[in-house]
Amino acid sequence: MTTGDMTEEAEWGPFGRPIFDDPQARALSRVGVLDVGSNSVRLVVFDGAARSPAYFYNEKIMCALGAGLSETGMLNPEGKERAISAIRRFAALARGMGILPLTAVATAAVREAKDGAEFRARVERETGVRLWVIDGQEEARLSAQGVLLGWPGSYGLVCDIGGSSMELANLADGNVGRRLTSPLGPLKLRDIPGGKRGLKEHIKPIIAQLHEEMDQETGKRLFLVGGSWRAIARIDMERRGYPLTVLHEYRMSAREISRTADYIWSANLEDLRNRCGISNERMILVPIAVQILKQLIGRFKPKDITVSSYGIREGMLYEQMPPDLRERDPLIEACRFAEAKDARLPGFGKVLYDFVIPLFPNADWQRKRVIKAACLLHDVSWRAHPDYREEVAFDNATRANLGGLKHSERVFLGLSLMHRYTNKLKNSRFDHLLELVPKDAQKDAEVLGKAMRLGAMLWLQSEELPAVLRWKPRKQFLRLTLSADAEPLFGEVAQSRFNALVAALGATGETQVKTTTD
């Protein structure tokens, strides 16, 4: 580590300096990506902190370009017209946003169709958009990079399913390794003869060949990318009565997926579609996709299965990032960006983190980063009506587009922010979500929230700590030592908040003012 690196770590801590003020990050502040897939055409415009961008604009049109491709070898005529219309609209939107030229890719349907080159030329002629037709291995690489956007340093197997193909990519130490492509797209498999049994027998040898060529160890994490996988996950949530509907980082087991497959095959698909909010075009493909997924899991035997909402489009953004940006924590950068944009005193989150962290001497790195995120977000909901701030803060934490955050961590984050805004928390409309967080973690969230609630009373226009907490867990004793500058801020309300924190710890406490000899 260089002297400069040591100085930066001393100043900013283990999470490093914020990146959104870096010129390299600002250059990526708004990026438009057009994805012409076998089943849908989508425009995404990323905006905000480059390492964990917000979705400034996101629109999808189901075109089914690849429907009938396996029989005719040609793109679906109706799908072509719908796709051209969609791309024309998206190009006009991009022009209005000032983000032309779009980064535009086309995947399996366009690359395999006899009239793919003709379609591509027509798109450029009529819309001005130049499509980059990528092969299956490149599609797999970009999808895997999308996973890395949300989970830097990930390992496991990425499986991206589209309408006409399914790609696999191996991740190890945050790098993309071996990549394979296959014809296992549910749109392509719709007309396989023999019903459910015929489909199963068709899929089985392809999965076996993929496993052999992948030389994949069993017991790795499986990342699922693609609309059909997300639809299956949404149905799994419905079947289980899962309390949170965020698909990103949703986890399933092989047993749960097997149960969900049976649930799908025995259900009235129209009723299930309406209950789960899935489009008709997508729902038609779900029974095929779940057959593929069951066999994939049976062969590769992953240790856990995680849904990634980040895929090829996010991978294209990741492609444009310099290496130092790629390595940064997406959760921390997103929260820093939110603080800089919405907090009343940007930068105080760093001070607040240093103030509260002594209360968690046994916290591991994962817990510390969530505590850091809470401190950065502690004041971004101040514009909400006082009667609803805690609810707005909880909603923001649990439903926001945040990468690298488990569902249990989302709820922990939201619960801590609720405690930050209210001293009395009971009969909340979010109580059903607390089942995702163990009881001891719920208690830690309360302590964190009440510590932030106290720290928020001690604002100073200074980066030095206004006060120091010394926690002695064995003696169950908490001491608050105020700086001389902060002492006038410690009035009746602050004392009440300190008492509430002491009570949450089940401790006794005292306050004192730092003297020049301390």
Task: Report the CATH number at residue 177.
Answer: 3.30.420.150
In the predicted model, what is the mean pLDDT of residues 170-174? 89
Neighbour count for residue 208 (Cβ, 10 Å): 12
Same domain, 181 and 202: yes
Give dist(CA 310, CA 313) in Å, integer. 7
**Torsion-angle region of 194 (φ positive above 0: left; ψ -120 to 50: alpha; else: beta):** left
Q: 154: buried, middle or exposed (CB in 10 Å: 19+, 13-18, 0-12)?
A: buried
- The answer to whether residue 168 scores a pLDDT higher than 90 is yes
Half-sphere exposure of 414 (CA within 13 A, CB side): 26
Same domain, 355 and 425: yes
- Non-local (6+) Cβ contacts of 233 within 8 A are 224, 247, 250, 252, 307
CATH classification of the domain holding 115: 3.30.420.40
Neighbour count for residue 398 (Cβ, 10 Å): 25
User: For residue range 51-96, what is the model confidence (pLDDT) as tens digits?
Assistant: 776 788 999 999 999 999 988 999 999 999 999 999 999 999 999 9
Same domain, 343 and 486: yes
What integer pLDDT is reported at residue 19 of this predicted model? 44
Given a contact cutoff of 8 angstroms between Cβ atoms, the answer to whether 46 and 35 are in contact is no
Tell me which of 94, 111, 133 is where a domain ends: 133
- The answer to whether residue 4 scores a pLDDT higher than 70 is no
User: For residue range 385-416, what is the model confidence (pLDDT) as tens digits?
Assistant: 998 899 999 998 898 878 889 999 999 999 99
- The answer to whether residue 325 scores a pLDDT higher than 90 is no
Residue 8 lies in a domain: no
Same domain, 260 and 304: yes
- Residue among 470, 405, 425, 417 nearest 445 (CA): 417
- The answer to whether residue 517 scores a pLDDT higher than 80 is no
The region of weakest confidence among 90-94, 320-324, 338-342, 507-511 is: 320-324
Residue 325 lies in a domain: no
Q: Contacts for 114-122 with beta carbons within 8 Å, 24 or more apart?
A: 114/73, 114/74, 115/74, 115/75, 116/75, 119/75, 119/80, 119/83, 122/84
Proportion of the chain above pLDDT 70, given as a percent: 92
Average of per-residue pLDDT values in the chain: 90
Structure-model confidence comparison of residues 81 and 5, the more confident one:
81
And the tokens for 311?
A: 């895929």
Tell me which of 133, 148, 180 is where a domain ends: 133
Given a contact cutoff of 8 angstroms between Cβ atoms, the answer to whether 423 and 453 are in contact is yes
Given a contact cutoff of 8 angstroms between Cβ atoms, the answer to whether 110 and 119 are in contact is yes
- Residue among 202, 204, 153, 207 nearest 175 (CA): 153
* Type and span of the H or E element at 54: strand 54-62
Same domain, 284 and 416: no
Same domain, 250 and 294: yes
CATH classification of the domain holding 480: 1.10.3210.10
Same domain, 207 and 270: yes
Residue 321 lies in a domain: no
User: Could you report how far apart the first and last alpha carbons of the chain are, in Å?
Assistant: 33
Tracing tokens 């992953």 back to the chain, one arrives at 302
Q: Could you give the number of structural domains in the chain?
A: 3
Residue 322 lies in a domain: no
Tell me which of 271, 288, 314 is where a domain ends: 314
Per-residue pLDDT band at 269 (split at 50, 70, 90):
very high
Half-sphere exposure of 5 (CA within 13 A, CB side): 3
User: For residue range 102-159, what is the model confidence (pLDDT) as tens digits?
Assistant: 889 999 999 999 999 999 999 999 999 999 999 999 999 999 999 999 888 889 999 9
Same domain, 128 and 161: no
Three-class secondary structure of residue 475 per DSSP: coil
Residue 195 lies in a domain: yes
Range of the domain at 213: 136-314
Helices and strands, counts by H and E, the chain: 22, 14
In the predicted model, what is the mean pLDDT of residues 264-281? 95
And the tokens for 222?
A: 């499986």
Same domain, 349 and 302: no
What integer pLDDT is reported at residue 429 of this predicted model? 81
Neighbour count for residue 199 (Cβ, 10 Å): 20
- The answer to whether residue 18 scores a pLDDT higher than 60 is no
And the tokens for 267?
A: 């259900």
Residue 6 lies in a domain: no
Same domain, 375 and 269: no
- The answer to whether residue 48 scores a pLDDT higher than 80 is no
Residue 319 lies in a domain: no
Per-residue pLDDT band at 514 (split at 50, 70, 90):
confident
- The answer to whether residue 518 scores a pLDDT higher than 70 is no
Structure-model confidence comparison of residues 429 and 200, the more confident one:
200
Structure-model confidence comparison of residues 480 and 401, the more confident one:
480
The model carries a pTM of 0.88
Same domain, 259 and 376: no
Given a contact cutoff of 8 angstroms between Cβ atoms, the answer to whether 388 and 465 are in contact is no
Residue 7 lies in a domain: no
Same domain, 123 and 161: no
- Non-local (6+) Cβ contacts of 73 within 8 A are 113, 114
Per-residue pLDDT band at 321 (split at 50, 70, 90):
confident
Q: At what angle do helices 365-377 and 330-342 cross, to 10 degrees?
A: 10
User: For residue range 373-386, what is the model confidence (pLDDT) as tens digits?
Assistant: 999 999 999 999 99
Beta strands 304-308 and 221-225 are parallel
